[in-house]
Amino acid sequence: MKKFRIFTILIAIGLFLNCSKDSDNTTPSGIDKSANLLATGDSANDILSNTAYSRLLIEAAYVTGFRPTSETMNNFETYLRNRTFKNDIQVVYRELASPDEETLTLQEIADLESENRTAYNDGQTLAIYIYFADAPSDSDDEDEGIVTLGAVYRNTSMVIHEGVVRKLANRSALITISDVETSTLNHEFGHLFGLVDLGTAMVNPHEDPDAENHCDIAGCLMRAELEFGGGMMSVLEKSKLSKGVAVPTLDAECILDLQNNGGR
């Protein structure tokens, strides 16, 4: 009898340890989240190549009223198909209520992801979570003209400050919402691709000495100024006026780095 009781206590402890160990990395349905909780750039090769994952699942979660335009998402998909070997790319949309925050820290954004994300790596599927937020970043200084358009914070997670993107685009007669959305999405996704020297090694040196993980080549999508509102708008307007197309693309050096790490 005593033996039996000790046995049940041991089972109970075992269950408790399992539960507490898994609670951080597993969804209630038992999905393992750990592969999606790594650092930015850690999954560059997995995103670019078909070696470990053949399918890309993008969960586009947006606050009601802040869904990206379909033109943007088509541009974004084209960018993914041009730079990676993934043929099977699916975007699923998920509408979320506003968190009713005036500003958001990256920690708050990561916490919201833990609450709302449903797509995680599974078998041949690599899942990415993109949150289109209504609120701006808490690090913005509007008086100084420093507004953040987007950010990456893990290997398969990023945020687009959609409210800020729209406000900026609406001020310009030359630039559309889709121009700013596409440029921001593609730039931030460039960091998930591991650019520059953020999980994807440089073939030739071209990292901006004044801006870590950004490119120093004029006109490249991975230029640091594209991270912030003022820089983004002047780059897009200049490009629109001179080339007729606003959205910047990756330069040859960035593309070479991606090709060297399993990309197209």
Which residues of the shown chain bind Zn ion in the complex (CB under 5 A)? 215, 217, 220, 222, 227, 251, 254
Report CA-CA distances (Å) from 213 to 194, 199, 204, 230.
Answer: 9, 10, 14, 20
Cβ 196 to Zn ion, closest distance in Å? 7
Minimum Å gap between C-beta 49 and Zn ion is: 20
Q: Output the six-digit token pair for 124.
A: 């041949």
Between residues 53 and 229, which has the closer beta carbon with respect to Zn ion?
229
Provide the minimum distance between the beta carbon of 31 and Zn ion in the complex, in angstroms, as a whole number.
30
Cα-Cα end-to-end distance for the chain: 66
Quickly tell me which residue has 């959609």 as its tokens.
162
With respect to Zn ion, which residue has the nearer C-beta, 8 or 82? 82
CB-nearer residue toward Zn ion: 185 or 222: 222
List C-alpha distances in Å: 42 to 39, 60, 199, 205.
6, 21, 6, 20
Tell me how many degrees the CA angle 133-167-75 measures, rounded to the nearest 5. Answer: 70
CB of 252 to Zn ion, least distance (A): 8
- Rounded to an integer, what distance in angstroms lies between the CA atom of residue 253 and that of residue 197? 12
Which residue's CB comes closest to Zn ion? 215
Name the DSSP letter for residue 148.
B
Shortest approach of Zn ion to residue 155 CB, angstroms? Answer: 15
134 or 188: CB nearest Zn ion: 188
Which is closer to Zn ion, CB of 35 or CB of 226? 226
Closest distance between Zn ion and the C-beta of residue 146, in Å?
14
24: its two tokens: 């951080």
Extended beta strands in 70-193, E state = 88-96, 125-133, 150-154, 157-161
State whether the Cα torsion 216-248-138-126 is positive or negative.
Answer: negative
User: Judged by CB, which is closer to Zn ion: 56, or 220?
Assistant: 220
